[in-house]
Chains A and B, each alone.
Chain A
Amino acid sequence: MNNKHSERMGDFKKMVGEPFLLVSIIVVFYLLIVFVIFPIYKVVKTSFVYDGHVSFRNYAEVLSHDYYIRPLWNSMILGLLVATIGTVIGFVFAYAITRTPMKGKTVFRLVATFPMVSPPFVVALACILLFGRAGIFKGAIGNIYGLTGLTIVEVIAYSPTAFLSLFGILQSIDPALEEAAMVCGASRGKVFRSIILPLATPGVVSAWLLVFIQSLADFGNPMILSGNFSVLSVQAYLQITGMNDLARGSTLAILLLIPTLLAFYTQKYLVSKKSFVTVTGKPTASTIKNLEWYVKLPVYVVCVFFAGVVVLFYGMVVWGSFQRLWGIDKTFTLQNYVQMWAVGKDYIRDSLIIAAIVTPICGLLSMFIAYLVTRKRFFGRGLMEFSAMLTFAVPGTVVGIGYILAFNTSSALMPVTLTGTATIIIALLIFRNLPVGIRNGIAALQQIDPSIEEASIDCGANSGTTFWRITLPMITPALFSGLANSFVRSMTAISAVIFVVSGGWNLITVAILGFVDNSQYAQAAAMSILLIAIVLIALFLMQLATDRVGKGMKVGLMEGEQS
């Protein structure tokens, strides 16, 4: 006991001896408390306050009105459907790419992950263009405003998540296991049932939960397509912006938060539990060459069909953006772009400025936090990781409401009112996009032998210099993918930022939603295309930069990997 105590004291004294480290830990904690914990705390608190007293009245009222319970069930049903269908499609895609000799895998991967770089609600817009009142397949799937339409749209938007997660899982299952099963006499079907499926099960469940979370948290698609099928995220938004009822809005937000957090931590638990997946030394791909047709055929059909649907949906947006009047006048025109530009150029400028500020701060901060939590020992390290990763699990609607509640007035933690400023949007986006960067950073750091950094400290550098000169250059690929992710999400986010945008500062996504609201589908399409183009160009430039920087990095990383 005593030893433990003196060891902790030793750690603490070492930290005091490094003022930079101590100060930066305190600053990071302050930021996380203000911009992550505080807003969520405010939502929880507001949901428990009725007439100035702490009570369960808000919950009692919400849970006794069908008007409020319905969205809860609707969200759940939608989540179940989307997660299940999305995981099946994601699995088939991952299987096709890792385990079949399918032609054009690069193209399929590109198409399958494309929805991730576009704002999710662009799919909803495409759905209206295709199946809506003026759509080319009008009525083909009945009324699109409701469960059917939402399911289709969210499956397209969120299967990529399942695909990426399952792709990683299936890729890491050593093909030698399948070969071992085959030399033991197992048929292709038996190998699948007795080897691949059991090994992939934790991954499948975890992919399912991720898609479930995304569907629950989705705001843009239901905002456009829900019709009479109201869901929690939209209902909470309407309570606050429409009825100005902060208490009920917060209560609904908490009802949305609970299943999301449950799903998130179940998923985390599954992933953290020592998984069976073995990392292979030499991947051999030869077994897949002899795959039987009855395996290939259905897999290919699903892939081609889904890829076709994705192309059809996005193609529709492109096509729609060049038509004079959707469904009526098919004349080619650029007028939608002209109109869109006239109305939207301020939104575009604001979006770009904000993303340009958010991206580097978010990228560096996420790498620094990753460095602190993996490499440094200090009191509250676990808490730092937990709070930094929290926004990943919390639906945007909850965060948005939290920011309104927390920053409408000044407080002890934040002496100035942030509402209406660019700062609140920037802060929201930074802290919402941190988790992905941190996760990348931690993964990269775990690949690198800490003795490299110890050598730097041995040579007399402090933690700050070591991070800047040694650690950061070694995890450049993680930094760049963090930057890319932060930029894409800053440009395409809607659910949380819609609460904090203002006359002074507004965003493209909000503008697109406004066009859709006014049934100006062609202008909405034109603006979506512009947004996707900006994102793709930015990603391309970042890829170029990564390749260039990456070449110098290779040696260091490879040496790190061997340890």
Chain B
Amino acid sequence: MKKTDYLLLKELTKVFGEGKSAFTAVDHVSLTVQEGDLVTLLGPSGCGKTTTLRMIAGFNTPTSGEVLIDDVRMNDIPPNKRPTAMVFQNYALFPHMTVFENIAYGLEIEKLPKEEIRRKVDALMHQISLDGLGNRQPRQLSGGQQQRVSLARAMILEPKVLLFDEPLSNLDAKLRMSTRLEIRKLQQRVGITSVYVTHDQEEAMTLSDKVVIMDRGTIQQIGTPSEIYSHPKNRFVADFIGKANLLEAKVVDMTNDAFSVEFSGKRITAPRWNKEIKVGDDVTVVVRPEAVIIQPKGNNDLLDGVITNAVYFGSQMLYEIQIPNKQILQIEVADPQYQPQFPQGSKVSIAFKNRSLHVLPWEQGGNV
């Protein structure tokens, strides 16, 4: 099946308040979501992700811009007439109804025959392992079960777009992980187009076909999880996704596919993704914690460093290394028991796994 653009946000903007107290929560956000994809809106709190989601659902009216679902303009359609359904952060289960009544609620509004409702609800409850819980009250369920009821109540309507508003944030860490996988499997099996809001990058990385990074109401980058991790577009994305050591450097030479940058008097080679950066430009080099090889001090072409902290984590070793410009690099070494270990105070040389480095244009006052 060829994927088509299914959900379209065109220059979507939301301004709260008026005059001096006006606050732009969402600023010209444009996005296309293809049929069957799960797209995450990821960003720190206050970045506009939830407001964007609520504009898709119809709870917030856009100040300007358009929401289109399957080529139909949604702006003037009230939430109860939109082909969307939503899974809420606190589940928002109707406390005075049983699990069955909760899930059946939307079908009853559609005035489906009783037997058909019963059949559909039972089938869905079976599919998401809620068998036998139909007569329970929501408060008698565990957090994970409540979350699944909330999901079922939304899915039973077979909406064109399913919306998730941080649905896992109230679960404990372990349950969050398993539920995350379950949601992903279910979403792929049913092939339902989904928009998922979260501030948890791990959640976004593991769930999504595409991740949309937002900050202060604007989209910073759209891409697959691996694109976003390995080729962040700017400092914000580099810093927000995963851990990153940022080195301020200058481009001294470049070939067709590599930069040579100077940092603290040493030369570092990095892949050339950004074609706009020229020789002589100031740049920021993104060094992921796993992109470093620590060696005993010796090689004069390499950056010197002193281990200031070494913490053993079992599956990995975390080092903090002070480099000549006083910056502290955070480095992770996998499988530490099979690697040479460096105690605190060791003088070392730092080599980079050059293919894992990423060069960004320098940003004025880039906040780290």
How near does chain A come to B124, taking the closest CB pair, in angstroms? 14
Q: Is A280 an interface residue (CB 8 A)?
A: yes
How near does chain B come to A59, taking the closest CB pair, in angstroms? 43
CA distance A3 to B252 in the complex (A): 83
Q: Is the CB of B109 within 8 A of A286?
A: no
Q: Is the CB of B92 within 8 A of A184?
A: no
Task: Give B101's nearest chain A residue, CB to CB.
Answer: A194
Q: Is the CB of A286 within 8 A of B85?
A: no
Q: Is A179 an interface residue (CB 8 A)?
A: yes
Q: Is the CB of A176 within 8 A of B92?
A: yes
Q: Is the CB of A198 within 8 A of B88?
A: no
How near does chain B come to A179, taking the closest CB pair, in angstroms? 6
Max count, chain A CB within 10 A of own CB: residue among B81, B94, B153, B154: B94
Q: Is the CB of A184 within 8 A of B96?
A: no
Q: Is A174 an interface residue (CB 8 A)?
A: yes
CA distance A495 to B154 in the complex (A): 56
Q: For chain A, give the interface size range.
A: 20 to 34
Q: Give the residue of B85, B90, B95, B110 whose beta carbon is less than 8 angstroms from that of A183.
A: B85
Task: Give B84's nearest chain A residue, CB to CB.
Answer: A183
Q: Give the residue of B61, B95, B163 whose beta carbon is less than 8 angstroms from that of A276.
A: B95
Q: Is the CB of B90 within 8 A of A179?
A: no
Interface stretch of the complex, out of B52-60, B303-311, B323-331: B52-60
Q: Give the residue of A174, A185, A276, A280 whose beta carbon is less than 8 angstroms from that of B109.
A: A185
Q: List 9 A-B contacts (CB under 8 A).
A: A180-B93, A180-B153, A181-B94, A181-B105, A183-B84, A184-B153, A184-B157, A185-B109, A290-B78
The A-contacting residues of B in range 49-101, CB under 8 angstroms, are 54, 57, 59-61, 78-82, 84-86, 88-90, 92-96
Q: Is A177 an interface residue (CB 8 A)?
A: yes
Do A183 and B57 form a contact, CB below 8 Å, given A174-B92, A177-B94, A199-B95? yes
Do A187 and B94 form a contact, CB below 8 Å, given A179-B88, A286-B54? no
CA distance A286 to B54 in the complex (A): 9
How near does chain A come to B54, taking the closest CB pair, in angstroms? 7
Q: Is the CB of A186 within 8 A of B80?
A: yes
Q: Is A410 an interface residue (CB 8 A)?
A: no
Q: Is B106 an interface residue (CB 8 A)?
A: yes
Q: Is A52 an interface residue (CB 8 A)?
A: no
Do A185 and B81 form a contact, CB below 8 Å, given A199-B95, A278-B95? yes
CB-CB contacts of A179-219 with B at 8 A, as 1s and 0s?
11111111100100011001100000000000000000000
Q: Is the CB of B86 within 8 A of A179?
A: yes
Q: Given the complex, which residues of B lie within 8 Å of A183, measured CB to CB?
A: 57, 79-80, 82, 84-86, 154, 163
How near does chain A come to B16, taking the closest CB pair, in angstroms? 9
CA distance A186 to B108 in the complex (A): 10
CB-CB contacts of A270-303 with B at 8 A, as 1s and 0s?
0000001110111010110110000000000000
Q: Is the CB of A180 within 8 A of B92?
A: yes
How near does chain A come to B50, taking the closest CB pair, in angstroms? 9
CA distance A17 to B61 in the complex (A): 66
How near does chain A come to B156, taking the closest CB pair, in angstroms? 9
Q: Is the CB of A185 within 8 A of B157?
A: yes
CA distance A186 to B60 in the complex (A): 17
How near does chain A come to B71, taking the closest CB pair, in angstroms? 21
Q: Is the CB of A184 within 8 A of B106?
A: yes
Where the two chains meet, the residues of B that have a C-beta atom closer than 8 Å to any C-beta of A are 54, 57, 59-61, 78-82, 84-86, 88-90, 92-96, 105-106, 109-110, 150, 153-154, 157, 163
Q: Given the complex, which residues of A lie within 8 Å of B84, measured CB to CB?
A: 183
CA distance A282 to B46 in the complex (A): 13
Task: Give B105's nearest chain A residue, CB to CB.
Answer: A184
The B-contacting residues of A in range 156-182, CB under 8 angstroms, are 174, 176-177, 179-182
Instruction: List 16 additional contacts besides A183-B84, A183-B163; criterion CB under 8 Å.
Output: A176-B88, A177-B94, A179-B79, A179-B86, A179-B92, A180-B92, A180-B94, A182-B59, A184-B109, A184-B154, A186-B105, A194-B94, A277-B95, A286-B59, A290-B61, A290-B78
Q: Give the residue of B88, B106, B163 whose beta carbon is less than 8 angstroms from that of A185.
A: B106
CA distance A331 to B212 in the complex (A): 75
Q: Given the complex, which residues of A lie within 8 Å of B105, measured CB to CB?
A: 181, 184, 186, 194
How near does chain A come to B158, taking the closest CB pair, in angstroms? 12
The 4 A-B residue pairs with the shortest CB-CB distance in the complex, in nearest-first order: A184-B106, A176-B92, A276-B95, A180-B92
How near does chain A come to B111, taking the closest CB pair, in angstroms? 10
How near does chain A come to B67, taking the closest CB pair, in angstroms? 14
Q: Given the complex, which residues of B lie within 8 Å of A179, measured CB to CB?
A: 57, 59, 79, 86, 88, 92
Max count, chain A CB within 10 A of own CB: residue among B84, B88, B95: B95
How near does chain B come to A307, taking the closest CB pair, in angstroms? 27
Q: Given the complex, which residues of A lie within 8 Å of B153, measured CB to CB?
A: 180, 184
Q: Is the CB of A182 within 8 A of B79?
A: yes
CB-CB contacts of A446-463 with B at 8 A, as 1s and 0s?
000000000000000000
The B-contacting residues of A in range 128-161, CB under 8 angstroms, are none
Q: Is the CB of B86 within 8 A of A180?
A: yes
Q: Given the complex, which residues of B lie within 8 Å of A194, measured CB to CB?
A: 94, 105
CA distance A280 to B60 in the complex (A): 19
Q: Given the complex, which residues of A lie within 8 Å of B110, measured CB to CB?
A: 185
Task: Give B79's nearest chain A residue, CB to CB.
Answer: A182
Q: Given the complex, which residues of B lie within 8 Å of A289, measured CB to CB?
A: 61
CA distance A198 to B163 in the complex (A): 27
CA distance A282 to B51 in the complex (A): 14
The B-contacting residues of A in range 464-486, CB under 8 angstroms, are none
Q: Is the CB of A182 within 8 A of B80?
A: yes
Task: Give B157's nearest chain A residue, CB to CB.
Answer: A184
Q: Is the CB of A180 within 8 A of B88?
A: yes
CA distance A276 to B96 in the complex (A): 6
CA distance A179 to B90 in the complex (A): 12
Task: Give A289's nearest chain B residue, CB to CB.
Answer: B61
Q: Given the complex, which residues of B lie within 8 Å of A180, measured CB to CB?
A: 86, 88, 92-94, 150, 153
CA distance A306 to B166 in the complex (A): 43
Q: Is the CB of A199 within 8 A of B80?
A: no
Q: Given the complex, which residues of B lie within 8 Å of A282, measured CB to CB?
A: 89
Q: Given the complex, which residues of A lie within 8 Å of B57, measured CB to CB?
A: 179, 183
CA distance A184 to B88 in the complex (A): 12
How near does chain A come to B335, taking the closest CB pair, in angstroms? 41
CA distance A234 to B255 in the complex (A): 102
Q: Given the complex, which residues of A lie within 8 Å of B106, measured CB to CB?
A: 184-186
Q: Given the complex, which residues of B lie within 8 Å of A199, measured CB to CB?
A: 95-96
Q: Given the complex, which residues of B lie within 8 Å of A174, measured CB to CB?
A: 90, 92
Q: Given the complex, which residues of B lie within 8 Å of A280, measured CB to CB?
A: 90
CA distance A490 to B80 in the complex (A): 52
CA distance A186 to B85 in the complex (A): 12
CA distance A286 to B61 in the complex (A): 9
Q: Given the complex, which residues of A lie within 8 Å of B92, measured CB to CB?
A: 174, 176-177, 179-180
CA distance A284 to B50 in the complex (A): 11
CA distance A362 to B81 in the complex (A): 56
How near does chain A come to B24, taking the closest CB pair, in angstroms? 16
Q: Give the residue of B60, B78, B85, B95 whose beta carbon is less than 8 angstroms from that of A184.
A: B85
CB-CB contacts of A284-328 with B at 8 A, as 1s and 0s?
101101100000000000000000000000000000000000000
Q: Given the complex, which residues of B lie within 8 Å of A277, measured CB to CB?
A: 95
Q: Is the CB of A281 within 8 A of B94?
A: no
Task: Give A187's nearest chain B residue, CB to CB.
Answer: B80
Task: Give B95's nearest chain A residue, CB to CB.
Answer: A276
